[in-house]
Amino acid sequence: MFELSKALQARVRASTSALLAALVEFKNVCYANSLGPESMVLTDLIWGAEQGSEAAALPKIEIFSIDTGRLYPETYDLIERVQRRYGRALRIYYPQAAAVEGWVDANGINGFRDGVEQRRGCCAIRKVEPFRRAVAGRDAWVTGIRRSQSAGRATAAPVAWDGEYGLHKISPLLDWTDKEVWEYIRRKQLPYNPLHDKGFPSIGCAPCTRAVQPGDDQRSGRWWWERDESRECGLHPRTQVGFSK
């Protein structure tokens, strides 16, 4: 049962080692769970770590998610299924109500479609500010980004100084392929968002995410009305500053 290919076992070992090394080096480490397929893998590596195994320390990494208030119903169901599977609670951070009310008053309920600045303003309130609170006082945060997801992520470093938020950023899945992520999910029968079976490679807020055509850039279904270079969420700036190890 749950037999993984040799190549995938090697990926798991490398990612587990990267997480353990981050815990040793940075101590106070958290994982920003975006609830995508990579998140299902990382959640399993962290919460699924067996007691008595080399990876037993990994559940010390606190896992959190951000509820922007505009997620798909399927995403909320997924949170519940993940929590049930592991018997643990995801820490959920929410935007500040007054900030959301002020932004909607000024821009309209879907005003993020009126321009890049409006969209960034909405992301700043609904995602970036809660994220900033979630990582405050931490030494490092873990992300599930992979090189093949976009041109902007292709050159990301496994460990980098995140100058925007003032802590280190750990990317243990950088070299995993999309196929490997899904092989891991299927072999281990992990929960995942059913929208992935309907052409959504990347799922964020409902009004800002749509299905893509086979072969399209994985991020092309996000903020599709904007030019390519503006389409990041603010949590992963395009210019990486830092070091790798």
Site of interaction with ligand SF4 (CB under 6 A): 68, 70, 112, 119, 122-123, 126-127, 204-205, 207-208
Q: How many CA atoms lie within 13 A of 67 on its CB side?
A: 15
What SS3 state is found at 121?
Answer: helix
* Residue 206 structure tokens: 């409902």
CB of 182 or CB of 224, closer to ligand SF4: 224
Closest CB 66 distance from ligand SF4, rounded Å: 9
Do 201 and 177 touch, CB atoms closer than 8 A?
no
Closest CB 205 distance from ligand SF4, rounded Å: 3
E strands, the chain, are 29-32, 62-66, 91-93, 140-142, 159-162, 167-170
* Active-site annotation holds for 233: yes
Closest CB 37 distance from ligand SF4, rounded Å: 18
User: How far, in Å, CA of 9 to CA of 204, rounded?
Assistant: 29
Closest CB 174 distance from ligand SF4, rounded Å: 23
Do 95 and 68 touch, CB atoms closer than 8 A?
yes
CB of 70 or CB of 168, closer to ligand SF4: 70
* Residue 47 structure tokens: 């919460």
Q: Which residue is nearest to ligand SF4 (CB)?
A: 205
Report the catalytic residues.
233
